[in-house]
Structure 1
Amino acid sequence: MSDHTTVPSAEAATTATATAAIVEPFFDPVTSTVTYVVHSGRGSACAIVDPVLDYDPKSGRTSTESAQRVIAFVREYGLTVQWLLETHAHADHLSAAPFLKQQLGGKIAIGEHIRMVQGVFGKVFNLGGTLAGDGSEFDHLFADEETFHVGPLAARAMHVPGHTPADLAYQIGDAVFVGDTLFMPDVGSARCDFPGGDAHTLYRSVRKLLDLPGQTRLFMCHDYPPESRGPRFQSTVSAQRESNIHLNDSVSEDAFVQMRSARDRTLAMPNLILPSIQVNIRAGRLPEPEDNGVRYLKIPLDAL
């Protein structure tokens, strides 16, 4: 599979309705992250969900190759960026939202509970005066069930904590972008052992999503496929309820919590958690250059 897959083709714009979102995914194989452009047709407004800034931890170099693919698509179809939506403060990639805002416009938004995550990790990284801690680094903080629009597409923010306390899912038209709340049915669910994470809470958040109509399209933030298949990142409520290996309808809350807690105890920290969290809690903004013109990330020793 290529790292740019269309579901469905943007040419379908002529048949889009006010509730049918057209979703263009961009899969980054390095971080297994999917960035989405959501719109209603050529020349319409759009939202960009969970954009990736390329980062090489071996050299400390950043690049905008992944973001440039998104920019090329937006410009080719004459879209106007209205929103740059983060489902949560990611621990596995740096956000390209500030770069995309500079190039394309739009408001960077996340859930209002990001303040809790800033409070925890602001102390871990001793960010002091470089982090306000009140969420003001973002252009907009969504409350649970807050409604908004992407052009003609009705949208709402759904607070779905558990993986972190600040996770949001975004329902835009007939599509829901679930962040790390769910993975594809054969992969299951995200870890719950980050600060503020909780397996009981994740179970209840997932049930909130799975109470949506069965045909509702669900778009994953990541895919970590088994060797038997390539990357996939679109599912439905019905498919998840029937066959998610961790969270199908036959799995009780207690059984899930027991499984998830045991599994989380075996997991190492994500490769990019230290560089990414300190950037992403600042809405993707990199640290200011020091007096030699170089930007520096912090690596706290013996803190996690």
Structure 2
Amino acid sequence: MATSTTVQAFFDDKTWTVSYVIADTASRCAAIVDPVLDFDFKSGRTATQQADRLIAHVREQGLTVQWILETHAHADHLSSARYLQQQLGGRIAIGEHITQVQATFKKLFNLERGFLPDGTQFDHLFQDGEVFHIGETPAQALLVPGHTPADMAYVVDGAVFVGDTLFMPDVGTARADFPGGDARALYASVQRILALPPETRVFVCHDYPPAGRAPAWESTVAQQRAANIHVRNGISEAQFVQMRQARDATLDVPTLILPSIQVNIRAGQVPPPEDDGVSYLKIPLNVIGAGRA
């Protein structure tokens, strides 16, 4: 099937994250999906090595960035959306239910009074089913909650960018034990994605490859239906929920969840500087894992 777009993937081997540049071939307009800001946890220093790879590609290809799309407020990497916007322009967008996530984490981190959980940190909040355009190419935002209440997938030109909802078939699906997560909702969201045409290309946001396999990030709906270890054809909702809840109970808290969420609910902006001119990230003590998160 002829396509009107190109997709370029950028893999970050420190966070196992895949970012994408989707380009409309006719207009040379582009969207960036799930960009990474480098962060060294030991020193608290940020860097832009991964984001600069995307910038170099955009400039080399002569693209105009219209959109910087977040599939959700990630817990495993910091977003470079704001930095990319400063360098390339474009509108930073996420699903409208980000407000639920913001409200949860404003309370958890006791954020400053001026932080409002209303989504205004982003330029656009997508509604479920909303159609938008990348140049001349139509795209659609789909609400796929379960991993978080706000997860979105983006359907573009015979492809779907699924964020953390699905992984490669031999890895399975996202966890559903974050605040607002729900295994039943995740199962329904996966089924919504798997109802797309079987030839639809599936681009994931992370890969955690089994031993012996190189990182990968593209499959098809047909391949996911046939082989996904968690939700292939014949796996019932009850079976999935039982598996997901049991597996999630064994998983560690993501290493970067505390710093990343504080940045990602602000559309990639670090917290405002305090009276010494320095921005700080908070680490709430004895809270995560105690039933309050």
Do the aligned residues in 1 keep the contact of 2:196 with 2:221 (CA within 8 Å)? yes
Q: Does 1:234 align with 2:238?
A: no
Secondary structure of the structure 2 residue equivalent to 1:263: helix
Q: Give the equivalent residue in structure 2 for 1:142.
A: 126
Superposition TM-score, scaled by structure 1 size:
0.93
What are the equivalent positions in structure 2 for 1:130-209 lying under 5 Å apart?
130-209=114-193
Q: Give the equivalent residue in structure 2 for 1:11.
A: none
Q: Give the equivalent residue in structure 1 for 2:234.
A: 250
Cα separation, 2, equivalents of 1:182 and 1:95: 20
Cα separation, 1, equivalents of 2:109 and 2:87: 29
Residue number among 42, 45, 64 corresponding to 2:48 in the alignment: 64
Amino acid at match of 2:270: L
Comparing 258-267 and 124-133, the one that deviates more = 124-133
Amino acid at match of 1:57: F
Do the aligned residues in 2 keep the contact of 1:175 with 1:219 (CA within 8 Å)? yes
Do the aligned residues in 1 keep the contact of 2:127 with 2:143 (CA within 8 Å)? yes
RMSD, aligned α-carbons: 1.2
* Alpha-carbon shift at residue 253 of structure 1 (Å): 0.5
Cα separation, 1, equivalents of 2:17 and 2:106: 25
Do the aligned residues in 2 keep the contact of 1:43 with 1:78 (CA within 8 Å)? no
Cα separation, 1, equivalents of 2:122 and 2:116: 11
Secondary structure of the structure 1 residue equivalent to 2:113: helix
Q: Does 1:289 align with 2:273?
A: yes
Q: Give the equivalent residue in structure 2 for 1:104.
A: 88
Q: Does 1:217 align with 2:201?
A: yes
* Alpha-carbon shift at residue 291 of structure 1 (Å): 2.6
Cα separation, 1, equivalents of 2:115 and 2:22: 30
Cα separation, 1, equivalents of 2:101 and 2:200: 30
* Alpha-carbon shift at residue 42 of structure 1 (Å): 7.7
Secondary structure of the structure 2 residue equivalent to 1:103: helix
Q: Percent identity?
A: 63
Secondary structure of the structure 1 residue equivalent to 2:205: coil
Do the aligned residues in 2 keep the contact of 1:42 with 1:77 (CA within 8 Å)? no
Residues 26-78 of structure 1 show CA distances to partners (whole Å, capped at 9, x for unaligned) of 00000000010001238610000000000000010000000000000000000
Cα separation, 2, equivalents of 1:42 and 1:173: 13
Superposition TM-score, scaled by structure 2 size:
0.96
* Alpha-carbon shift at residue 21 of structure 1 (Å): 2.5
5+ residue gaps in structure 2?
289-293
* Alpha-carbon shift at residue 129 of structure 1 (Å): 1.8
Cα separation, 1, equivalents of 2:275 and 2:117: 25
Q: Does 1:261 align with 2:253?
A: no
What is the count of residue pairs matched by the alignment? 288
